[in-house]
Amino acid sequence: MVRMTGSQILLECLRREGIDTIFGYPGGVVLPLYDTLPEFPELRHILVRHEQGAAHMADGYARASGRIGVCLGTSGPGATNLVTGICTAWMDSTPMLVLTGNVSRTLLGKDGFQEADITGITHSITKHNYLVMKAEDIALAVREAVHIATTGRPGPVHIDIPKDVFQESAEFEWPEQINLRGYKPNTEGHPGMIRRAAELIDQAKKPIIISGHGVIWGDAHNELVELAEKAQIPVITTFLGIGGFPESHTLSYGWLGMHGMFYANRAADNADLVIGVGMRFDDRAMGRFSGFNPGVKIIHIDIDPAEIGKNFPTTVPIVGDAKNVLPRLAAQVHPQSRTEWIKWIDNERELHPSLHIRETRRLLPQYVMRSIYEETEGNATIVTGVGQHQMFAGQHYFYERPRQLISSGGLGTMGFELPGAIGAQVATPDAEVWAICGDGSFQMTLHELAVLVDERLPVKMAIFNNGYLGMVRQWQELFYDRNFVSVAVTQPDFVKLADAYGIRALRVNTKAEVHDAIRIAREYDGPILIDFQVDQEENVWPMVPAGASLSETIEAPEAELAR
Partner 1 sequence: MSTTTTSGSRSRQNHTVHTVVAIVEDKPGVLMRVSSLFRRRGFNIESLTVGPTEERGLSRMTIVVDGESAPVEQVEKQLYKLIDVVKVSDLSQEDVVARELALIKVRCNNVNRHELLDIANVFRADIVDMATNSIILQVVGDEDKVDGLIKMCEPYGIRELSRTGRMAMVRGAKSTNVHDKEPEQIAKIHASQGRRVAGELPFSSD
- Residue 300 interacts, among ligand TPP, partner 1, none and using kind-specific CB cut-offs from 5 to 8 Å, with partner 1
Instruction: Tell which one of 439, 448, 535, 538 touches ligand TPP (CB under 6 A).
Output: 439
Contact 484, 473 (CB under 8 A): yes
- Spatial CA neighbour of 147 closest among 73, 256, 93, 68: 68
Q: How far apart are CA 264 and CA 235, in angstroms?
A: 9
Stretch that binds partner 1, among 164-172, 182-190, 384-392, 424-432 (CB under 8 A): 182-190
3-class secondary structure, 438: strand
- In the window 138-157, what residues touch partner 1 (CB under 8 A)? 148
The answer to the question of residue 283 lying near partner 1 (CB under 8 A) is no
The answer to the question of residue 388 lying near ligand TPP (CB under 6 A) is yes
* Contact pattern for ligand TPP over residues 466 through 505, marking x by CB under 6 A: x-xxxxx---------------------------------
3-class secondary structure, 203: helix
Among this protein's residues, is 113 annotated catalytic? yes
How far is CA 360 from each of CA 511, 512, 514, 546, 563, rounded to the nearest angstrom?
9, 12, 14, 29, 8
Taking the complex as a whole, how short is the minimal distance between the CB of residue 539 and partner 1, in angstroms?
35
Instruction: Tell which one of 399, 464, 494, 532 touches ligand TPP (CB under 6 A).
Output: 464
Task: Please work out, in degrees rounded to the nearest 5, the angle formed at the alpha carbon of residue 392 by the alpha carbons of 449 and 283.
Answer: 105
Instruction: Tell which one of 193, 201, 322, 534 touches partner 1 (CB under 8 A).
Output: 193
Over the range 495-529, which residues count as b (16 or more CB within 10 Å of their CB) and which as e? bebbeebebebbbbeeeebbeebbeebbeeeebbb
Among this protein's residues, is 1 annotated catalytic? no
The answer to the question of residue 440 lying near ligand TPP (CB under 6 A) is yes
- Residue 385 interacts, among partner 1, ligand TPP, none and using kind-specific CB cut-offs from 5 to 8 Å, with ligand TPP
Q: In what order do the strands lie in the sheet with 207-211?
A: 252-255, 235-237, 207-211, 273-277, 297-302, 316-319
Taking the complex as a whole, how short is the minimal distance between the CB of residue 384 and ligand TPP, in angstroms?
9
Stretch that binds partner 1, among 9-17, 101-109, 121-129, 546-554 (CB under 8 A): 121-129
* Cβ atoms within 10 Å of 26's Cβ, excluding its own: 18
How far is CA 443 from each of CA 80, 239, 355, 440, 486, rounded to the nearest angstrom?
20, 24, 28, 5, 15
Q: Which is nearer to ligand TPP, 144 or 439 (CB)?
A: 439
211 bridge partner residues: 237, 277
Q: Which is nearer to partner 1, 192 or 353 (CB)?
A: 192
- Residue 309 interacts, among partner 1, ligand TPP, none and using kind-specific CB cut-offs from 5 to 8 Å, with partner 1
The answer to the question of residue 243 lying near ligand TPP (CB under 6 A) is no
- Residue 388 interacts, among partner 1, ligand TPP, none and using kind-specific CB cut-offs from 5 to 8 Å, with ligand TPP
Q: How many residues bind ligand TPP (CB under 6 A)?
A: 19
- Residue 468 interacts, among ligand TPP, partner 1, none and using kind-specific CB cut-offs from 5 to 8 Å, with ligand TPP
The answer to the question of residue 394 lying near ligand TPP (CB under 6 A) is no
- Among candidate residues 4, 8, 23, 51, the one labeled active-site is 51
Among this protein's residues, is 471 annotated catalytic? yes
Instruction: Tell which one of 65, 80, 104, 119 touches partner 1 (CB under 8 A).
Output: 119
Taking the complex as a whole, how short is the minimal distance between the CB of residue 316 and partner 1, in angstroms?
9
Instruction: Tell which one of 112, 309, 353, 557 touches partner 1 (CB under 8 A).
Output: 309
Q: Which is nearer to partner 1, 50 or 127 (CB)?
A: 127
Q: Is the dihedral of CA 192, 310, 67, 158 positive or negative?
A: negative
Give, to the nearest 10 degrees, the angle between helix 365-376 and helix 388-396.
Answer: 40
Instruction: Tell which one of 38, 41, 182, 295 touches partner 1 (CB under 8 A).
Output: 182
The answer to the question of residue 178 lying near partner 1 (CB under 8 A) is no
Instruction: Tell which one of 74, 94, 150, 441 touches ligand TPP (CB under 6 A).
Output: 441
| φ, ψ at 252 (rounded to 5°) | -85, 130
CA 341 centroid distance within chain: 32
| φ, ψ at 491 (rounded to 5°) | -120, 160
Which residue type occupies 118?
Answer: I
Q: How far apart are CA 104 and CA 73, in angstroms?
A: 15
Q: How far apart are CA 236 and CA 253, in angstroms?
A: 5
End-to-end CA distance of the chain: 74
- Residue 389 interacts, among ligand TPP, partner 1, none and using kind-specific CB cut-offs from 5 to 8 Å, with ligand TPP
- Helix (H), strand (E) at residue 23: strand 21-24
Q: How far apart are CA 332 and CA 335, in angstroms?
A: 10
Taking the complex as a whole, how short is the minimal distance between the CB of residue 392 and partner 1, in angstroms?
34
Among this protein's residues, is 163 annotated catalytic? yes
Rg (CA), the chain: 24
Q: Which is nearer to ligand TPP, 90 or 263 (CB)?
A: 90
Stretch that binds ligand TPP, among 187-195, 262-270, 322-330, 439-447 (CB under 6 A): 439-447
CA 195 centroid distance within chain: 32
Taking the complex as a whole, how short is the minimal distance between the CB of residue 332 and ligand TPP, in angstroms?
42
* DSSP string for residues in 339-394: HHHHHHHHHHHHH--S-PPPP-SS--HHHHHHHHHHHHTT-SEEEE-SSHHHHHHH
Q: In what order do the strands lie in the sheet with 44-47?
A: 44-47, 21-24, 69-73, 96-102, 156-162, 128-131
The answer to the question of residue 181 lying near partner 1 (CB under 8 A) is yes
- Among candidate residues 52, 96, 163, 391, the one labeled active-site is 163
Q: How many residues bind partner 1 (CB under 8 A)?
A: 32
Among this protein's residues, is 51 annotated catalytic? yes
Over the range 362-398, which residues count as b (16 or more CB within 10 Å of their CB) and which as e? ebbbbbbbbbbbebbebebbbbbbbbbbbbbbbbbbb
The answer to the question of residue 386 lying near ligand TPP (CB under 6 A) is yes
The answer to the question of residue 314 lying near partner 1 (CB under 8 A) is yes
The answer to the question of residue 381 lying near ligand TPP (CB under 6 A) is no
The answer to the question of residue 195 lying near partner 1 (CB under 8 A) is no
Residues forming contacts to ligand TPP in the complex (CB under 6 A) are 385-389, 412-414, 438-441, 464, 466, 468-472
What are the residue numbers of the active site?
51, 113-114, 163, 471
Residues forming contacts to partner 1 in the complex (CB under 8 A) are 119-120, 123-124, 127-128, 131, 148, 180-188, 190-193, 300, 304-306, 308-310, 314, 317-319
